[in-house]
Amino acid sequence: MKLIIKLALFLSLVAGLSAGAMSYVFQLTHPIITQAQKEAETKQLNAIYKQSHFQSVSFDHKEYPLIENIYEAKKDEKREGYVYKISTPGYGGHIVYLVALDQSGRYLGYSPIDVTTETSGFGSRVGTKEMADRINKKQIGSGIDTLSGATISSKAVVKGIEQATAHYQKHYK
């Protein structure tokens, strides 16, 4: 009995120490990580609309579960378009990407953020120019072709775009 208590105490001591070490490292790195994520996102937004000002728009997440965020892009008080951040379930996890629905009535600037969960060499092709070419400059609302050989992943991407389109046409058209 005495031995069990001694062992339990030792184990909890080690666990406590390790929790302390981890929280220290977490506090050290957390601001850097969130900062880097924010910077990466603004960098991608700026790649779609240069010199624009971006503002988050609120929306009904229950009605549009695949949409993670919507940014309104304004340049000199003039609306240029809306950038949708989509997180859609693909083959191995969630595919995250940005796509802009431009005032000109076309899709613009499809840019993948996270395709690491898709099979390398097959599903991961939705993160390449091949997929972007099928989306960019297409008329909003027109069908988008999937990639053969990456059917599940590209279908997931198209599903997300369809949801963004539905939201766009209901609210901004």
Asked if residues 124 and 118 have their Cβ atoms less than 8 Å apart, the reply is yes
Of the ranges 1-9, 73-81, 82-90, 100-108, which one interacts with another protein (CB under 8 A)?
1-9
Residues 6+ apart with CB under 8 A from 27: none
Runs of H (alpha helix) within the chain: 2-48, 129-135, 151-171
Q: Give the Cα separation of 82 and 124 in Å (integer).
A: 26
CB of residue 76 to another protein, shortest distance in Å: 32
CB of residue 141 to another protein, shortest distance in Å: 33
32 binds another protein (CB under 8 A): yes
6 binds another protein (CB under 8 A): yes
Q: Which two tokens stand for residue 92?
A: 């191995």
Q: Which residues here bind another protein, judged by CB under 8 A?
A: 3, 6-7, 10-11, 14-15, 18, 21-22, 25-26, 28-30, 32-33, 36, 40, 114, 116-117, 119-122
